[in-house]
Copies of this chain bind each other. A is one copy, B any other.
Amino acid sequence: MNAPNPSETAFSIAAVERDTGLAKDTLRVWERRYGFPSPTRDANGERLYPADQVERLRMIRRLLDHGRRPARIVGASVEELSAMLDACLCPEGGTPAGRDDGLLQLVRLHRSVELAAALRQALMKQGLQRFVAETVAPLAAAVGEAWMRGEVDVPEEHLFTEQVQNVLRSAIGAHAASEGRPRVLLTTFPEEEHVLGLLMAEAMLVPEGASCLSLGTRTPLADIRSAAVSGGFDIVGLSFSIAYPARQAIEGLLELRALLPEEIALWAGGAAVRDKQKRLPGIHVVGDLEDTMAALLQWRRTHA
């Protein structure tokens, strides 16, 4: 069962790039500069990364996503990395008390059938908005933390995304296509692939009678503008995951703000833009889902 088959315990540079998201050039230059990683070589002189080094690289990648810089962490031991990862979690201390980790366990154990069933059941019981606020959002946060800890990986994250997407899209579609105001256009910037933020926003807005259209992820700026103008939208909503570089988000938002006619509002949500309101004049930063509801009410008051 655990035969030390090299093809199972060591990885080519291309495989490591896929697994860690670190470019081949980056892996080579780290080796040159910091002495890590230090892959062995195969008969042909090509790098072979042992599994434990790949694991360390994954931890490093997670820390980079949280804003650390390479110099201090590429040389660190597994224990030090682990300590840093812990420090990143719950900076205010302590896991939210009483959170239901049952769903998280289903994700971790790949229990796809049970997960799908449990999500549908929660939706029925809570209704769409409470389902999003009380089940999906906490679960997404829990999966994100587990990701940081290395307890979930790409396939688990994928399973989670897919099942939540299924449930949310069906529920959103069940609301009769509304003609109500405001008309909201939802999407992300071209470098952002995460779709759940959009779906959660849509799921909060649609039951309130807003009419939403999602362009999906990765829409070029010019396309956002033309869709917003030609579709007669009142609001454009952008979503940013935690891994999106804050600087790039701000730059892109300001550019889009300049592109859009004044009467179309621009809303931005997600970890990358939280607390950046002062740097984003003319843009409404929505910190969380409740903020979204508040923003909606405010818009309606203003445009009565």
Interface-lining segment among A87-95, A165-173, A246-254, A290-298: A165-173
Interface pair A155/B112, CB less than 8 Å apart: no
* A220-234 vs B, Cβ < 8 Å mask (1 yes, 0 no): 100100110011100
What is the CA–CA distance of A159 and B226 in the complex, to the nearest angstrom? 13
Q: Does A140 contact B (CB under 8 A)?
A: no
Which residues of chain A from 276 to 301 have a CB within 8 Å of any chain B CB? none
Interface pair A159/B215, CB less than 8 Å apart: yes
Q: Does A28 contact B (CB under 8 A)?
A: no
What is the CA–CA distance of A217 and B171 in the complex, to the nearest angstrom? 21
Q: Does A116 contact B (CB under 8 A)?
A: yes
Shortest A231–chain B CB gap in Å is: 4
What is the CA–CA distance of A223 and B161 in the complex, to the nearest angstrom? 16
In the complex, which of the residues B120, B173, B216, B226 contacts A161, with contact meaning CB atoms closer than 8 Å? B216
* A89-108 vs B, Cβ < 8 Å mask (1 yes, 0 no): 00000000000000000000
**Nearest neighbor of A231 in chain B, beta-carbon distance:** B113
Question: Interface size class for chain A?
Answer: 35 or more
What is the CA–CA distance of A201 and B23 in the complex, to the nearest angstrom? 36
Which residues of chain A from 100 to 130 have a CB within 8 Å of any chain B CB? 110-113, 116-117, 120
Interface pair B158/A169, CB less than 8 Å apart: no
In the complex, which of the residues B116, B174, B177, B216 contacts A159, with contact meaning CB atoms closer than 8 Å? B216
**B-binding residues in A (CB < 8 A):** 110-113, 116-117, 120, 154-155, 158-159, 161-162, 165-167, 169-174, 177, 213-220, 223, 226-227, 230-232
> What 6 pairs across the A-B complex have the smallest Cβ distances?
A170-B173, A162-B216, A169-B169, A113-B231, A170-B170, A155-B223
